[in-house]
Each structure stands twice: as structure tokens, then as C-alpha cells.
Amino acid sequence: MTKRGVACVLLLVAVVCAVIAPSRAQVSCSNVDSAMGPCAQYVTGQANAPSAECCNGVRSLNQAATSTQARRDTCECLRQIAARYSNLKDEAAQALPGQCGVSVGIPIARNTDCSRVS
């Protein structure tokens, strides 16, 4: 095979990998924690509304959770994060996506059954 042929094959492999890799991306609880960190004041009742940074985090999680498994993984991370806050205001946590103008379909609560998220 010529150098040009090898280069074409390598380019094709790179393109295929670039297309396949994002679909296999897994949700990391550290990423969910980072995205939701700015929301702590709102969900604990220390702020009347979520900050712009908080809503950006909610939007980024919504965009990342593109498959049922990713939504379930995100849900599990959110459930674990919620359990860390003894002063979590359930109403504020559940209202958070709507306050940010996002429909996520993943409840933010300590007792969510993440296996039911679709």
C-alpha cells in the first residue's frame, strides 16, 4: 500500500473513532458533582433562585445524558449527591430543572429509583 493509501486508511479510522467515541461516553459522578456544585445554595434554601452557573451545569448534564443508561447513571450520581445534604430542600431540588428552563426527566431526590428512569 502506498503512503497515500495508508494516510487515507488512518484518516478513515480517526473519523470512525471520533464518531463512535462520544456514543460510548460514560457519565462520571465527579463531572455530575462539578456541574451541580454551583446549585448547592439553591437546593439547600440559601438562595431564592439558581445561579446562571448552576443552570449551565443543569443544561450540560441534560446534554450529556443522551441514552437511557447515561440518564440512569446521572440519576444515581444525583441521588448520591442529594444524600450528602441533610438540609436539602426536596421541593427546590425537584424544581431545579424547571427553574433553569430544562426538562431533564431525572428527578433530583434522595429516594429516587434510578432503575425506572428511561
Domain boundaries, the chain: 28-116
Which residues have a Cβ under 8 Å from the Cβ of 37 and sit 6 or more positions away?
Answer: 57
Q: Are 45 and 95 in contact (CB under 8 A)?
A: no
> From CA 30, how far away is CA 32, in angstroms rounded?
5
User: Does 21 have pLDDT greater than 50?
Assistant: no
pLDDT band at 106 (very low <50, low <70, confident <90, very high): confident
For every residue of 64-85, DSSP letters joined together read H--SHHHHHHHHHHHHHHHHT-
- For the domain spanning 28-116, the CATH number is 1.10.110.10
Tens of pLDDT, residues 45-86:
999 999 999 999 999 999 999 999 999 999 999 989 888 889
Phi, psi (5° rounding) for residue 117?
-75, 135
Instruction: Say what the pLDDT of residue 43 is.
Output: 94
> From CA 23, how far away is CA 7, in angstroms rounded?
25
Model confidence, pTM:
0.73
Instruction: Say what the pLDDT of residue 50 is.
Output: 97
pLDDT band at 13 (very low <50, low <70, confident <90, very high): very low
User: Does 109 have pLDDT greater than 90?
Assistant: no
Instruction: Say what the pLDDT of residue 2 is.
Output: 52
Could you give the 3-state DSSP secondary structure of residue 13? Answer: helix
Q: Which whole-number Å values give the CA distances from 7 to 3, 14, 16, 64, 113, in the listed order?
A: 6, 10, 14, 32, 49
